[in-house]
Amino acid sequence: MDCPICQTKGLSEGTQICPQCDSDLKSLHQIDQAEKAFVTQKRQKSLWILLTVFMAIAFISALYLYTTNADSASETEYAELNQQLQTAQASIQQTNQENKSLQQELEALKKAEAEVKCEEINYTVQWGENLFSIASAVYGNGYEYPKIVEANSLDNPNHILDGQQLVIPF
């Protein structure tokens, strides 16, 4: 994990505060967790769709074989096909239950994320930084620096000092 504020690389997964710039990383960690849960849920949904398509193809194939070879199909073949159909139906039910469970988890994570979202962080200016470089690191666009100027009531945005505390709004 990398700090989006000071670009410190290689922070451990559970790091709550950046050791370099003292930025609060809790919300970023929770957003990462929510994204991972979303990807997992998306994979489960894709699996369910694939399984449904497979079942439809199996059902159509079985129906086709039954109608074209009704006279020649043995009871053993019919029993095997019926067993495969029941197994597939059970698998679909299990996948549906897992999908519901994952959707509930995702909703819980979204609620937790909404509760945790911070509206601002405290930031300590490092040597050589300016508001443009800080805005670039935080917002991904240096031209967003007026947000920082306004939040901190700075008279001169070109004059910030090392160690100065700034409030960074989101």
Contact 12, 32 (CB under 8 A): no
Instruction: Tell me which residue has tokens 């709004």.
Output: 169
Q: Rounded CA gap, 27 and 117, in Å?
A: 6
Q: State whether residue 136 is helix, strand or coil.
A: helix
pTM metric for this prediction: 0.35
Structure confidence at residue 117 (pLDDT): 63
Bridge partners (DSSP) of residue 167 are 122
In words, the CATH class of domain 1-24+118-170 is: alpha beta
Structure confidence at residue 29 (pLDDT): 75
pLDDT tens, N- to C-terminus, the chain (170 residues)? 778 778 778 877 777 788 888 777 777 777 878 888 888 888 898 899 999 999 999 999 888 887 776 555 577 888 889 999 999 999 999 999 999 999 999 998 888 877 766 678 899 999 999 999 999 999 999 999 999 999 999 999 999 999 999 999 98
In the numeric block, which tokens belong to residue 146? Answer: 């007026």
98 CA to centre of own chain: 18
User: 22: alpha, beta or left, given left = phi > 0 and alpha = psi -120 to 50?
Assistant: left
Instruction: Tell me which residue has tokens 């519901």.
Output: 100
Q: State whether residue 18 is helix, strand or coil.
A: coil
